[in-house]
């Protein structure tokens, strides 16, 4: 879902900034949101029909019991952007084994994570370097 949203933001909306977030609340709902500062879309209904990108995204959300909403990130602006918001009610509550498998120490701050990007044209181009 996130890959499709990021691809759409760059390829179709010409976005310079894209923000992706995932959060869970106390009742076990998962909320996924991707916002961009691109050109936006005129008619959300037509956007679902125009190609398979947003339609496929909506189908993936529905397949997991969620709901997908589209809106402008910044209404009234010349580049209104797009906000995709998916809610998955009770998704974590329904899967306690998956939640229990996540250890509290597993998260790594972004500035402490090892750099695993392959450099274009440099050593290791085209492959993901081994993690230390």
What are 63-122's pLDDT values in tens digits? Answer: 999 999 988 877 777 778 899 999 999 887 766 554 545 444 444 444 444 444 433 334
- Per-residue pLDDT at 85: 94
Decide if 64 is inside a domain.
yes
Decide if 50 is inside a domain.
yes
pLDDT in tens, 35-46: 999 888 877 666
- With 80 as the cut, is the pLDDT of residue 52 above it? no
Regarding predicted confidence, which is higher, 54 or 50? 54
- Per-residue pLDDT at 22: 93
Decide if 13 is inside a domain.
yes
Regarding predicted confidence, which is higher, 126 or 58? 58
Decide if 14 is inside a domain.
yes
Decide if 90 is inside a domain.
yes
| Residue 35 neighbours by CB distance under 10 Å | 22
Decide if 40 is inside a domain.
yes
Query: How big is the CA angle at 22 (ends 2 and 46), to the nearest 5 degrees?
Result: 45
50 pLDDT band (50/70/90 cuts)?
Answer: low
pLDDT in tens, 1-46: 999 898 888 888 889 999 999 999 888 889 999 999 988 887 766 6
Q: Which domain holds residue 77?
A: 2-95
- Per-residue pLDDT at 76: 72
Q: How many domains does the chain have?
A: 1
Torsion-angle region of 131 (φ positive above 0: left; ψ -120 to 50: alpha; else: beta): beta
Beta strands 82-88 and 30-36, pairing class: antiparallel
- With 50 as the cut, is the pLDDT of residue 124 above it? no
Q: Is residue 27 a contact partner of residue 93, using CB atoms and an 8 Å limit?
A: yes
Q: Is residue 15 a contact partner of residue 35, using CB atoms and an 8 Å limit?
A: no
Quote the tokens at residue 46. Answer: 């037509």
Residue 70 CB burial class (10 angstroms; 0-12, 13-18, ≥19)? middle
Can you tell me the distance from the alpha carbon of 106 to that of 10, in angstroms, rounded to the nearest whole number? Answer: 31
What CATH code is carried by the domain that includes residue 41?
3.30.565.10
Decide if 48 is inside a domain.
yes
Decide if 103 is inside a domain.
no
């Amino acid at each position: 879902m996130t890959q499709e949203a990021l691809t759409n933001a760059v390829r179709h909306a010409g976005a310079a900034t894209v923000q992706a977030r995932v959060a869970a609340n106390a009742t076990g709902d998962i909320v996924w949101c991707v916002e961009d500062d691109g050109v936006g879309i005129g008619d959300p209904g037509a956007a679902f029909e125009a190609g398979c990108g947003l339609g496929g995204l909506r189908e993936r959300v529905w397949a997991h019991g969620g709901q997908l909403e589209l809106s402008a990130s910044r209404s009234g602006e010349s580049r209104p952007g797009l906000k995709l918001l998916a809610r998955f009610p009770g998704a974590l509550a329904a899967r306690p084994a998956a939640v229990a498998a996540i250890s509290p120490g597993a998260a790594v701050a972004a500035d402490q994570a090892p750099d695993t990007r392959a450099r274009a044209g440099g050593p290791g181009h085209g492959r993901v370097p081994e993690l230390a």
